[in-house]
Every structure is written in structure tokens, then in C-alpha cells.
Amino acid sequence: QGPISGVNKEIAVLQCHGDCDPLVPLMFGSLTVEKLKSMINPANIIFRTYSGMMHSSCIEEMMDVKHFIDKHLPPVD
């Protein structure tokens, strides 16, 4: 598929990946982010890797997710 049009082209994306993931190798995460960059505005894509993280999560990743949500979604009352 080619680039996405309309408002979705400007969507913000946070992609996170552990560099020790045995199920989804980091190479596939890197290929995915490159494909996304060809489809939406690359300036709106954040790709974070986490040292030593396997197919799981870590505190640093959860903090990055929290900051991303705080920045891009309205506060909940």
C-alpha cells in the first residue's frame, strides 16, 4: 500500500521494542517502522528500543507510553 491520505496521515505513533525479544526480532520492529514512515508523516513516529528487554515490558517503556498518552490524548476528568 502507498501513503495514507487525510487526517490519518498525521497520526502519532509510538512503537516500542525490546532488543532481546526472541519472538519478534528487533529487525522486524525496524522494518515495521520503516514501512510506517512510508505511509504516514515520519515526523510523527517515535521508535524506542529497550536494552535487555525480551517479549515483555519494562518500567522505562511504560513511562514512555505514559508520556506519549499524556501528550497526545486529552486528560480524563
Any domain includes 60: yes
Answer yes or no: is 7 within a domain.
no
- Domain carrying residue 32: 14-72
How far apart CA 19 and CA 60 sit, in angstroms, is 14
How many independent structural domains does the chain possess? 1
Residue of higher predicted confidence among 4 and 52 = 52
Residue 35 CA to residue 76 CA, distance in Å, equals 32
- Residue whose grid cell is 515490558: 57
9 lies in some domain: no
For the full predicted model, state whether its pTM sits above 0.85. Answer: yes
Asked if residue 3 is part of any domain, the answer here is no
* Predicted confidence (pLDDT) per residue in 24-35, tens digit: 999 999 999 999
3-state secondary structure of 55: coil
Q: Is residue 55 part of a domain?
A: yes
pLDDT band for 5, please (50, 70, 90 cuts).
Answer: confident
